[in-house]
Amino acid sequence: MRLSEARKDHFRKLAKREGYPSRSAYKIIEINKKYRLIRSGSVVLDLGSSPGGWLSVVCNHVGPRGFALGVDIRPSDNLPKNANVAILDVTSDTFEESILDLLPRTADVILSDLSPNITGIWQMDHLKQIDLTKHVIKLFPNILAPEGSAVLKVFEGEALKDLVDSIRLDFERVEIAKPLASRAASSEFYLVCRSYRR
Measured distance CA(142)–CA(2) in Å, rounded: 45
Give the burial class of 40: count Cβ atoms within 10 A of its Cβ; 0-12 exposed, 13-18 middle, 19 or more buried.
exposed
The residues carrying an active-site annotation are: 153
Measured distance CA(146)–CA(134) in Å, rounded: 19
**Is the Cβ–Cβ distance between 87 and 75 less than 8 Å?**
yes
Measured distance CA(182)–CA(119) in Å, rounded: 19
As a dihedral over the C-alpha atoms of residue 61, residue 181, residue 24, residue 134, rounded to 10 degrees, the angle is 90
